[in-house]
Amino acid sequence: MPVTRTAARQAAEQYREEGYAVLRQFIDGDALIALKAETDRIYAEALKHHHTWRHGNLCFEILPEADFGARYVIQAYWISWMSDHFEKLRRSDDYFTLLEPILGRDIRQVAQQIHWKPPGAGLTGYRFHQDIRFRDSRNSYVDIVASTVNTGLAIDPSTRENGCLQVVPGSHRSAYLGLSDDGDGQIMKGLTAKDELRVAGIDPDSIVWLEQDPGDIAIWSLMTVHGSLPNMSRQDRAFAISSYVNAANTDRGEWAFRDGVSTPIGDTPVLCKYEKLHDNPDPHYVEDRWYA
């Protein structure tokens, strides 16, 4: 069932007021079955690599069996370079209907990811943070916060048990709080203590658990405080994240829509977030053991 403009406007209104929103049944029926099958195919392809592997913007982040006792895929980036399904999905009519009330008709995409939380992997939680911390080149944007929206599409059931997204309503109005910037700044190592939130002025009791059925989509701001717990269930949690920007305010990212017209990626990757893209665009392994 196509997303309606009314539902999209209501989601945009909640997003502006609370810093997040959820639109139910964004994808359903046969389209959801096909999405799940393609996600499983990508996981199987990524699992062939012994360590994190990159080719241009495409990347598979791997936890290797040498350190974890088994091989796990925890993230994939810019799968449009290997998946026609995700290439068409990212610029589908439903995404445009969802995004237009927030970003207008000219839209670029600066992030495309699938997050998995494989049971037994261990490192499947995300400390509370604000996503603006990942935008290193902020001078490449005009009004970066108002120009950007993040989306999270549930591919598997997203529950408390398997580590669903948690958000702090209204936190998008805060300044940058520096959550999880301590130590080496890794958000997947350790968990955020309630006292850390309180010091930042956040009431832990205000946190909202965004449980999503497959096909539901969440949206949140670069400033919205959010995180998630590790997967404590026996079920994986695949979650597709895409970040879009108003194209008038940046030259970053792959085009998604030009005046509302769906626009495919070009012949070669463009600079999105990975600053070293042009230093080594050829296929290669990245063995930095960030998790150690």
From residue 182, how far is each of 125, 127, 134, 187 by CA, in Å? 16, 11, 15, 10
Cα(85)–Cα(151) distance, integer angstroms: 17
pLDDT over threshold 80, residue 7: yes
As a whole number of angstroms, the distance between CA 268 and CA 37 comes to 27
Q: Which CATH architecture has domain 5-277?
A: Sandwich (2.60)
Residue percentage of the chain with pLDDT more than 90 = 86
How much is the pLDDT for 94? 97
Q: Report pLDDT digits (tens) over 190-226.
A: 889 999 999 999 999 999 999 999 999 999 999 999 9
pTM of the model: 0.96
Distances in whole angstroms, Cα of residue 132 to Cα of each of 177, 218, 223, 278:
11, 17, 6, 23
What does the pLDDT read at residue 189?
85
CA distance 41 to 46: 9
Name the pLDDT band for 184 (thresholds 50, 70, 90): confident
**Other CB atoms within 10 Å distance of the CB of residue 156:** 18
User: 170-181: buried (b, 16+ CB within 10 Å) or exposed (e) per residue?
Assistant: ebbebeebebbe
Instruction: For residues 14-18, give the mean pLDDT.
Output: 98
pLDDT tens sequence across 43-57: 999 999 999 999 999
The pLDDT tens digits of the residues spanning 77-130 come to 999 999 999 999 999 999 999 999 999 999 999 999 999 999 989 889 999 999
